[in-house]
Structure 1
Amino acid sequence: MTWTVGLSNLVLAVYGFTLIIGLPANILAFYTFFQKVRQQSTPMDVLLLSLTISDLIFLFFLPFRMVEAANMKWTLPYFLCPLSGLIFFSTIYNSTFLLTAISVERYLGVAFPIKYKLKRKPRNAVIASVIFWVVSMAHCSIVYIMQYQNYFNPNITDPSTRNTCYEEFSDEQLKILLPVRLELSIVFFCIPFLICCFCYINCICILSRLSKVHAKKRYRAIGMALGTLLVFVICFMPFSITHVEGYFGGYSANWRKYALLTSTLNACLDPFIFYFSSSALRETFKKVLQELVRWLLPPCCRSALCCPLFNCGKSEERTQISDDNIR
């Protein structure tokens, strides 16, 4: 796709919004989950921390893409092109695996609260997170293969002399790339999405039948489920559709850059899902909000700020099902 001024401004706006909202929110989430893992970790805490780290790595590499969009061509050292592409895509795909693992963790905790609580171990979540990283980066290594294919062929233009990054492909490259993209859409979107749908729909059905579960906790569980499914539909589905279209059409879809913008938004939407997932994060958000309001108010009004506005000291009603499983 050829860069235009309109496309450049759109990409910069979306990437800038993602960076401004996502970076502080994920840093706050990282601090919260890191403290929880240090004190008394659960598999859910480990998965949420892994997802936060993945989003932060994505956000740290996002400025490389913003520079490309601002100049409407690749002007940075060329070795950063495949490196940023590898990190950019692997963190996006890694997020789908981690969100799926979180949905499975919640389903098992709600469907089998006693049996699963006795067997769940944080170590298994750590192993799963490492496997997710290895699988996603192994698949996305196709970026390096495409960028340096036929590197020593004198009849092929040296990729380091181009002003594009992972955009122009020969027919020979497309024969390799398009089937890999189709696999990516199946492995990193279709299968995780179906698993999430199964887990969260069953969670909602189970919770709706439990009268002893507090309404607030039930609503949070439903919000968590709907939020995750919306992330899949809004953030990951469009980019996966471009893979399917490109495979059956035999070309690289022209609207890939637009679809990739929605995938970028995942980094700033995840913290809002975390809010429904962790009571510790909700408390951290409340404390930060309270301090921010106190800082913005005039000194004479700070003492009048009442604690009930932030539900300070208000404990939630306990239920037979652990809050870790349904919140």
Structure 2
Amino acid sequence: MHCSNAQVCHGVYGFTLITGLPANVLAFYTFFQKIRQRCTPMDVLLFSLTISDLIFLFFLPFRMVEAANMKWTLPYFLCPLSGFIFYSTIYNSTFHLTAISVERYLGVAFPIKYKLKRNSRNAVIASVIFWLISMAHCSIVYIMQYHDSSNPNYTAPYTRDTCYEEFSIEQLKILLPFRLELFAVLFAMPFLICCFCYIKFIHILSNLPNINAKKRYRAIGMALGTLLVFIICFMPYNVSHVIGYVGNYSPDWRVYALLTSTFNACLDPFIFYFSSSALRGTFKNVFQELSRRLLQPCFLNEWVFTSGTQLLHSNDLSL
């Protein structure tokens, strides 16, 4: 599925790659160190989601090449592979973000009872299940690319210059109902759970008198940010599934709706920032080090200028 406006696609993909890659690398390093020492279920979920985003970003250049050439010019086996990874990581994100919302809600609604029962092993099991469900659903990419080979009008995949774009009537009979199921199971249900958990979460936090105001606003910002990610990044593309099913066609504008999903990889680190004090510390240290290195030449030049001026004055006095 290529984008007819290469500049728009490159702008979105490039922005996501430039901002998302360094942020997710920092998040990966932070959560990896945290898990090696002493991890919580939240750390496991955030680490798994970070890995998902990094895999997504690794395969993003394939989309950029397709957008630049306005057709698929890479080896064809990369077409279903990149599509499979692309869609799997997107839906994997919805599951992980939902699990994080459940973790946050249970932590404030039942603080003592849940703290006694929370177990990092359960978070690992949940993450594995999320990966398996998202990958199992998105294997439809492989099925559609190689389906209908008995049809006399069937075109061998390796001779095509399009990727997951042109579908026969027989393929649409399978694909459109399946997309509706993707909307219901992999988007609508997680979104509703996320809304319930974070609405209750915000309500409980707002009524707690003894909680620090800064912590309250940070937690509320994390909750609202997650809901915005669902609405901005995931909703447009998933709504296209419903419209396509009702109209019995594959909408051409789905590629632009899919563009918003790519922003998820660069927005997730901001959710991580609100969710993890360890990551906030990492970001703070990195920014301080960058600021120090950027300002160092200025201080050096100022020192050289000042020292030189003093030396000239001292020479003038000696004369």
Query: Residue type of the partner of 2:22?
Result: P
Q: Distance in 1 between matches of 2:19 and 2:153?
A: 46
Q: Which residue of 1 aligns with 2:192?
A: 194
What are the within-5 Å matches in structure 2 for residues 68-147 of structure 1?
68-147=66-145
Q: Which residue of 1 aligns with 2:272?
A: 274
What are the within-5 Å matches in structure 2 for residues 150-161 of structure 1?
150-151=148-149, 153-161=151-159
Cα separation, partners in 2 of 1:132 and 1:3, compared to 1, 3 Å: closer
Q: Distance in 2 between matches of 1:151 and 1:26?
A: 41
Q: Which residue of 2 aligns with 1:174?
A: 172
Q: Distance in 2 between matches of 1:128 and 1:249?
A: 36
The secondary structure found in structure 2 opposite 1:298 is helix
Query: Residue type of the partner of 2:112?
Result: I
1:154 is displaced (CA, Å) by 4.7
Q: Distance in 2 between matches of 1:16 and 1:236?
A: 19
Q: Distance in 2 between matches of 1:256 and 1:129?
A: 28
Shift >6 Å, 4+ stretches: none
Query: Residue type of the partner of 1:45?
Result: D
The secondary structure found in structure 1 opposite 2:75 is coil
Paired residues, number: 301
Larger Rg: 2
Q: Which residue of 1 aligns with 2:306?
A: none
Residue 55 (structure 1) aligned with residue 53 (structure 2): yes
1:161 is displaced (CA, Å) by 0.5
Q: Which residue of 2 aligns with 1:25?
A: 23
Q: Once superposed, what is the RMSD of the aligned Cα atoms? A: 1.4
Q: Which residue of 2 aligns with 1:254?
A: 252
Q: Distance in 1 between matches of 2:189 and 2:2?
A: 33
Q: Distance in 2 between matches of 1:245 and 1:86?
A: 22
Q: Distance in 2 between matches of 1:107 and 1:200?
A: 7
Q: Which residue of 1 aligns with 2:64?
A: 66
Deviation string 1:58-103 (CA, Å, 9 cap, x unpaired) is 0000011110000000000101100000000000000000000000
Deviation string 1:205-254 (CA, Å, 9 cap, x unpaired) is 11111110000000001100100000000000000110000000000011
Q: Distance in 2 between matches of 1:156 and 1:273?
A: 45
Deviation string 1:142-193 (CA, Å, 9 cap, x unpaired) is 0000000123555411121010000000010000000000000111111111
8 Å CA contact retained: 1:44, 1:102 = yes
Cα separation, partners in 2 of 1:208 and 1:76, compared to 1, 3 Å: same
| Structure 2: segments with no counterpart, 5+ residues | 301-319
Give the alignment partner of residue 215 of structure 1, picking from 210, 213, 217: 213
Q: Which residue of 2 aligns with 1:245?
A: 243
8 Å CA contact retained: 1:99, 1:228 = yes
8 Å CA contact retained: 1:151, 1:159 = no
8 Å CA contact retained: 2:109, 2:204 = yes
- Which stretch has the larger CA shift, 291-300 or 171-180? 291-300
1:15 is displaced (CA, Å) by 0.3
Residue 295 (structure 1) aligned with residue 293 (structure 2): yes
Higher helix share: 2
Identity %: 78
8 Å CA contact retained: 1:235, 1:264 = yes
Query: Residue type of the partner of 1:212?
Result: N
8 Å CA contact retained: 1:85, 1:143 = yes
Q: Which residue of 1 aligns with 2:305?
A: none
Give the alignment partner of residue 16 of structure 1, picking from 14, 17, 24: 14
Cα separation, partners in 2 of 1:2 and 1:193, compared to 1, 3 Å: closer
Q: Distance in 1 between matches of 2:273 and 2:54?
A: 17
Q: Distance in 2 between matches of 1:187 and 1:81?
A: 25
The secondary structure found in structure 2 opposite 1:107 is helix
8 Å CA contact retained: 2:2, 2:71 = no
| TM-score, L = length of structure 1 | 0.90
| Structure 1: segments with no counterpart, 5+ residues | 303-327
The secondary structure found in structure 1 opposite 2:293 is helix
Cα separation, partners in 2 of 1:2 and 1:191, compared to 1, 3 Å: closer
1:298 is displaced (CA, Å) by 2.8
Q: Which residue of 1 aligns with 2:40?
A: 42
